[in-house]
Structure 1
Amino acid sequence: MRADRRMLVLRAVIEDYIQSQEPVGSSALTKGHQLGVSSATVRNDMAALEEEGYLIQPHTSAGRIPTQKGYRYFVDRLTKRVPLSPAQRNGIDAFLSGSVSLEDVLQRSARLLAQITGQVAVVASPALSKSRLRRIELISIAKTTVLVIVITDTGRVVQHAVSLSYSNTLTEQALANLSDSLNTQCRGYTLAGVSQQMLTGSYKVTDEQTAVLLQDLSTVLSQMAEEEESGNLYMAGRSQLTHRHTVPIGELASLLDALEEQVVLMRLMTAQSELSQQHGGVSVVIGSETQTPGLMHASVVTSGYGHAKAERSTEELSEYDLNDTPIAFVGSIGPTHMDYATTMTAVRAVASYLTQFLSNSEEE
């Protein structure tokens, strides 16, 4: 019973500190929370929590503030999700539904998330390596050149001119038929999977020229996937963070420097987005858990979006196909005293919208 009450005291300290960013004392806790015990008992519980590493007393005779261990305990047991109000949901739909392209909706999502949380929002675009084929078109543009146009399930259109080592004698109809065959065989595969299917697929290739063309196309698609292992980052909210007076100047400078290391952020948040499916759709790393020097006093909340959907049976899926993993991420970065409940809800909501946006794009 004492241990349970102690953890209720810890939760109360963290909730009050998130609201005020001021050290919390026992008297304030007994007045603001129905703990059912005296101020002296709460003071003893806080001392015990400090000994156990959940709280720290920044100054003698001052109240206490949470440590990273305290925040981790709090977040892991944060069962109370703050639901978005109907007005907030309608606001999200209205703000994002005006998007005219995937790039536009990602930029809008970053701005919206930054506005909701008051923190830095980061949204990644889907990389070609994680996108799936919706359609491929082959067009002859010269005697030794075929233009390959790839349309992915995320709505991206990528084209590449394939230089042939011979004079192309395939007719437009022959290329159209080959395109149709590839679309039938490879729709729903990643580009690496399409590349492999071009080499091993059950095509009725009756001439050497078509066989060589497929080999060339396979090489091009494989290179396209390898060259873009990660997507672009859309970021918003840095100016809002600099105007917050609750973040010490030194910590703020380190955080802003870390935000410039986009490769590091991409690696961290991609890994966390994949783990988020094991934690109710959102993952939280705090301070040293980020393994990033500039984020030692920050927390990163991440969710994946656009989960890959297999369009083929289990028997047809190859090692190049994606399972139920996100194709990109959305996240929020802020001080460790962030409002975790609100931030987690907002990140999850925006990720859900983006997943639905991509799903609707696939059906068009």
Structure 2
Amino acid sequence: MVSERGLQVLRAIVQDYVDTREPVGSKAIVERHAFGVSAATIRNDMALLEDEELIVAPHTSSGRVPTDKGYRVFVDHLAELRPLSPAQRAAIASFLDGSGDLDDVLVRTVRALTQLTGQVAIVQYPSFARATVTHVELVQLGGGRMLVIVVTDTGRVSQRLTFVGEEFDDVDLAHIRAGLGTLLVGRPVREGLQRIAERLEGRDAQAPAHERATDEIVRAVAEELEEFRQDKLVMAGSANLARRESDFRGSIYPLLEAIEEQVTLLRLMGEMVADEQGLAASIGRENEAFGLAEASVVASDYDATGSLARVGVLGPTRMDYPTNLATVRAVARYLTRMLEQDDSSR
């Protein structure tokens, strides 16, 4: 059983190790922190922490460093979130203000987050499977090319360029646009996809060129709606892993691979359990099932007009958890407010 002072010693070890990258000894703790006890007493506390597997000596006769279990106790019970400075809050606002559509907002979000934390920043797209299609627009670009634009009630605007091999006059184009409106507008994305599948079922490959071109437009709309249903991430700051390579005991290749493929990070972000403030952390060996046992992820929920998703950072276990948790929470709250304001203005 670790005493209250022992837990405060753990806090000091975590903070000093994160700040200095050096193992922390009892003498350093006495010098840097006002415990009011001798180095011998601190050594006894450290011995108990080591017995509980909260700290470990990386080398013989060295100081101690936190274990993954120690970081977990620190995050759950000892970490005090540090309020962001006015400069940090201004930086978030300057990155995000004036954003355009959702894609632009999320790209700006990860750029802000990686700048503020020095970690790999991750933002999860909200699931738009339940979103409702509000508008479908077609723009003829010449040469048989058609720009398909789909808008939903979540504010997402997406575009897809498709080659239809046919030119339409204004009357035909208006007719196709109206048909798509009847088929999709006012309906959830999932239902829209089903209605398109029913429309295309059994279509004759030998149909007139005009009809085949119309079908090609419908398929392009379906492909765009399918994108709405897929989970995906926006990330920035991968180069920070190379800069912090000395913080990883092994290779950073598994992390780079996870960033490249996204599927692993999507599963991890989806399975993290948030506290009552919407904050979540997954530390070191807790990520072993995802092949990321040397990394930590801290994240916060944000609300995209009723669809929850997460924004977070990925980095080594030796990270500044209080600052990173406070930063992802502040960014998530700002992002939620922006999306709410955008929704209310439509």
TM-score, structure 1 normalization:
0.72
Deviation at 1:182, TM superposition (A): 8.0
1:56 CA displacement: 0.6
1:29 positional shift: 0.7
1:14-29 equivalence runs, <5 A: 14-29=14-29
Aligned CA-pair RMSD: 3.8
- Deviation of the 1:235 alpha carbon: 1.7
TM-superposed deviation, 1:333: 0.3
Mapping of residues 186-335 of structure 1, within 5 Å = 190-192=188-190, 228-244=228-244, 246-248=246-248, 250-272=250-272, 275-276=273-274, 278-292=275-289, 294-309=291-306, 325-326=307-308, 328-335=309-316
Task: State how far apart, in whole Å, the 1-side matches of 2:329 and 2:82 are.
Answer: 11
Pick closer, same or farther for the CA change 1:67–1:302 going to 2, 3 Å: same
Please say if residues 257 and 294 of structure 1, whose CA atoms lie closer than 8 Å, have aligned partners that are also in contact: no
CA separation in 2, counterparts of 1:149 and 1:99? 19
Aligned pair 1:356/2:324, yes or no? no
Tell me the percent identity: 43
- SS of the residue 1:84 aligns to: coil
3-state SS of 1:306 partner: strand
Deviation at 1:224, TM superposition (A): 6.5
Other structure's SS at 1:329 match: strand
List runs of 5+ in structure 1 lacking aligned partners.
142-146, 162-171, 199-218, 310-324
Matched, 1:133 2:132: yes
- The reply to whether residue 336 of structure 1 matches residue 305 of structure 2 is no
Q: Is the 8 A contact 1:303 1:347 kept in 2?
A: yes
Measure the CA separation in 1 of the matches of 2:289 and 2:69: 17
Question: How far apart in 1 are the matches of 2:88 and 2:136?
Answer: 42
Q: Is the 8 A contact 1:114 1:237 kept in 2?
A: yes
Aligned to 1:80: 80
| Cross-structure match for 2:157 | 156
Amino acid at match of 1:32: R
Which residue identity is paired with 1:301?
V
Could you report, residue by residue, the CA deviation over 1:31-74 in whole angstroms, capped at 9, with x for unpaired residues? 11112221111101101110111111111111111111100000
Report the CA distance shift for 1:182/1:237 in structure 2 as closer, same or farther (over 3 A).
closer
Q: Is the Cα contact below 8 Å between 2:155 and 2:342 reproduced in 1?
A: yes
The aligned length equals 312
Counterpart amino acid of 1:59? Answer: H
Instruction: Render the CA deviation track for 1:305-355: whole Å, top value 9, x for unaligned.
Output: 23443xxxxxxxxxxxxxxx51x3221000101000111111112222222
| Distance in 2 separating the partners of 1:123 and 1:178 | 32
* Aligned residue number for residue 165 of structure 2: none
Distance 1:127 1:2 in 2: 43
Distance 1:32 1:138, change over 3 A: closer
Query: Comparing 67-76 with 96-105, which one deviates more in the overlay?
Result: 96-105
Comparing 17-26 and 251-260, the one that deviates more: 251-260
With over 3 angstroms needed to count, the CA separation of the structure-2 counterparts of 1:45 and 1:251, relative to structure 1, is farther
**Residue 158 to residue 11, structure 1, CA distance change in 2 (3 Å):** same
Q: What letter corresponds to residue 156 of structure 1 in structure 2? A: V
Is this contact kept in 1: 2:127–2:231, CA < 8 A?
A: yes
Shift in CA distance, 295/221, structure 1 to aligned 2, threshold 3 Å: same
Code of the residue aligned with 2:190 in structure 1: it is: A
Name the aligned partner's letter for residue 260 of structure 2: E
Task: Quote how far apart the aligned CAs of 1:194 are.
Answer: 6.7
Q: Find the counterpart in structure 2 of residue 101 from structure 1.
A: 101
Give the Cα–Cα distance (whole angstroms) in 2 for the partners of residues 249 and 287 of structure 1. Answer: 11
Q: 1:197 to 1:349 in 2, by over 3 A?
A: farther
Q: CA deviation at 1:253?
A: 3.2
Amino acid corresponding to residue 257 of structure 1 in structure 2: E
Q: What SS does the corresponding residue of 2:63 show, helix, strand or coil?
A: coil
Q: Name the CA shift for 1:78/1:243 in 2 (closer, same or farther; >3 Å).
A: same
- Consecutive unaligned residues of structure 2, counting only runs of 5 or more, are 141-146, 163-173, 197-218
Aligned to 2:168: none
What SS does structure 2 have at the residue aligned with 1:81?
coil
Match of residue 61 from structure 2: 61
Moved more, 284-293 or 69-78: 284-293
